[in-house]
Structure 1
Amino acid sequence: MTTVAEGIETSFQKDFLQEINCDMLQGYVFSRPLPIKDFEKLMFQNSSN
Protein backbone atom coordinates (compact mmCIF):
# COMPACT_ATOMS: atom_id res chain seq x y z
CA MET A 1 0.00 0.00 0.00
CA THR A 2 1.28 3.47 -0.87
CA THR A 3 0.87 6.16 1.77
CA VAL A 4 0.45 9.86 0.97
CA ALA A 5 0.58 12.63 3.59
CA GLU A 6 -0.91 15.97 2.59
CA GLY A 7 -0.78 19.35 4.29
CA ILE A 8 2.75 19.09 5.64
CA GLU A 9 3.65 22.52 7.04
CA THR A 10 6.70 22.02 9.26
CA SER A 11 10.10 20.35 9.07
CA PHE A 12 9.17 18.36 12.17
CA GLN A 13 6.16 16.86 10.37
CA LYS A 14 8.25 16.14 7.27
CA ASP A 15 11.04 14.48 9.25
CA PHE A 16 8.60 12.37 11.27
CA LEU A 17 6.75 11.14 8.19
CA GLN A 18 10.01 10.29 6.45
CA GLU A 19 11.16 8.36 9.54
CA ILE A 20 8.02 6.22 9.45
CA ASN A 21 8.53 5.61 5.71
CA CYS A 22 5.59 7.56 4.33
CA ASP A 23 5.85 7.18 0.55
CA MET A 24 4.77 10.64 -0.62
CA LEU A 25 4.57 14.03 1.09
CA GLN A 26 2.88 17.24 -0.04
CA GLY A 27 2.50 20.62 1.58
CA TYR A 28 3.64 24.16 2.21
CA VAL A 29 6.92 22.95 3.74
CA PHE A 30 8.02 22.16 0.17
CA SER A 31 6.41 25.07 -1.71
CA ARG A 32 3.53 27.49 -1.56
CA PRO A 33 1.17 27.51 -4.56
CA LEU A 34 2.95 28.95 -7.60
CA PRO A 35 1.89 30.66 -10.82
CA ILE A 36 2.28 28.22 -13.73
CA LYS A 37 5.39 29.95 -15.14
CA ASP A 38 7.18 29.71 -11.77
CA PHE A 39 6.13 26.06 -11.44
CA GLU A 40 7.48 25.25 -14.91
CA LYS A 41 10.76 27.01 -14.09
CA LEU A 42 11.08 25.04 -10.84
CA MET A 43 10.38 21.72 -12.59
CA PHE A 44 12.88 22.49 -15.36
CA GLN A 45 15.59 23.36 -12.83
CA ASN A 46 14.96 20.16 -10.86
CA SER A 47 14.92 17.93 -13.93
CA SER A 48 18.38 19.12 -15.00
CA ASN A 49 19.98 18.05 -11.68
Structure 2
Amino acid sequence: YLKRFPIDVLKIDRSFVDGLPAGEQDAQITRAIIAMAHSLGMTVIAEGVETQAQLDFLREHGCDEVQGFLLGRPMPPDEVVASFERC
Protein backbone atom coordinates (compact mmCIF):
# COMPACT_ATOMS: atom_id res chain seq x y z
CA TYR A 1 0.00 0.00 0.00
CA LEU A 2 2.89 2.36 0.62
CA LYS A 3 3.73 2.20 -3.08
CA ARG A 4 0.18 2.31 -4.47
CA PHE A 5 -1.30 5.27 -2.65
CA PRO A 6 -0.11 8.89 -2.51
CA ILE A 7 0.98 8.68 1.13
CA ASP A 8 3.42 11.25 2.48
CA VAL A 9 2.97 10.69 6.23
CA LEU A 10 3.41 7.47 8.19
CA LYS A 11 2.10 7.19 11.75
CA ILE A 12 3.68 4.95 14.39
CA ASP A 13 0.92 3.34 16.43
CA ARG A 14 0.86 3.88 20.16
CA SER A 15 1.19 0.12 20.69
CA PHE A 16 4.85 0.46 19.66
CA VAL A 17 5.39 3.76 21.50
CA ASP A 18 4.06 2.27 24.76
CA GLY A 19 7.09 -0.03 24.99
CA LEU A 20 9.69 2.68 24.40
CA PRO A 21 12.47 3.00 25.24
CA ALA A 22 12.95 -0.18 27.30
CA GLY A 23 11.16 -2.70 25.07
CA GLU A 24 13.83 -3.86 22.66
CA GLN A 25 11.41 -5.20 20.01
CA ASP A 26 9.34 -2.01 20.12
CA ALA A 27 12.53 0.03 19.82
CA GLN A 28 13.76 -2.00 16.84
CA ILE A 29 10.42 -1.79 15.06
CA THR A 30 10.15 1.94 15.72
CA ARG A 31 13.65 2.62 14.41
CA ALA A 32 12.87 0.54 11.30
CA ILE A 33 9.61 2.38 10.65
CA ILE A 34 11.34 5.76 10.93
CA ALA A 35 14.19 4.69 8.63
CA MET A 36 11.84 3.16 6.04
CA ALA A 37 9.52 6.15 6.01
CA HIS A 38 12.39 8.62 5.64
CA SER A 39 13.94 6.57 2.84
CA LEU A 40 10.59 6.88 1.01
CA GLY A 41 10.49 10.64 1.62
CA MET A 42 7.71 10.44 4.20
CA THR A 43 7.12 12.36 7.41
CA VAL A 44 6.86 10.22 10.57
CA ILE A 45 4.37 10.92 13.37
CA ALA A 46 4.34 8.91 16.60
CA GLU A 47 1.09 8.74 18.53
CA GLY A 48 0.52 8.06 22.20
CA VAL A 49 3.63 9.77 23.58
CA GLU A 50 3.12 9.96 27.33
CA THR A 51 6.60 10.13 28.86
CA GLN A 52 9.70 12.23 28.42
CA ALA A 53 11.73 9.04 27.84
CA GLN A 54 9.50 8.12 24.88
CA LEU A 55 9.85 11.62 23.44
CA ASP A 56 13.62 11.56 23.90
CA PHE A 57 13.89 8.19 22.12
CA LEU A 58 11.75 9.35 19.20
CA ARG A 59 13.70 12.60 18.83
CA GLU A 60 17.02 10.74 19.00
CA HIS A 61 15.92 8.47 16.16
CA GLY A 62 14.58 11.21 13.90
CA CYS A 63 10.82 11.04 14.36
CA ASP A 64 9.42 14.20 12.78
CA GLU A 65 6.31 14.79 14.88
CA VAL A 66 4.65 13.40 17.99
CA GLN A 67 1.26 13.54 19.60
CA GLY A 68 0.07 12.39 22.98
CA PHE A 69 -0.81 13.28 26.55
CA LEU A 70 2.75 14.43 27.27
CA LEU A 71 2.11 17.40 25.01
CA GLY A 72 -1.54 18.01 25.78
CA ARG A 73 -4.88 16.41 26.52
CA PRO A 74 -7.65 16.25 23.92
CA MET A 75 -10.03 19.19 24.12
CA PRO A 76 -13.19 20.39 22.43
CA PRO A 77 -12.78 22.65 19.38
CA ASP A 78 -13.91 25.82 21.21
CA GLU A 79 -11.20 25.30 23.85
CA VAL A 80 -8.57 24.85 21.14
CA VAL A 81 -9.57 28.17 19.55
CA ALA A 82 -9.59 29.89 22.94
CA SER A 83 -6.12 28.57 23.77
CA PHE A 84 -4.72 30.05 20.53
CA GLU A 85 -6.46 33.36 21.19
CA ARG A 86 -4.64 33.61 24.55
CA CYS A 87 -1.24 33.33 22.86
> If the length of structure 1 is used for normalisation, what is the TM-score?
0.73
Q: Which runs of 4+ in 1 moved over 4 A?
A: none
Q: CA RMSD in A?
A: 1.3
Unaligned 5+ segments in structure 1 are none
Percent sequence identity over matched residues? 42
**How many aligned residue pairs are there?**
45
> Offset of 1:16 from its aligned partner?
1.0
Matched, 1:9 2:38: no
> Offset of 1:42 from its aligned partner?
2.4
Unaligned 5+ segments in structure 2 are 1-41
> If the length of structure 2 is used for normalisation, what is the TM-score?
0.46
Look at both structures and tell me which one has the larger radius of gyration over its CA atoms.
Answer: 2
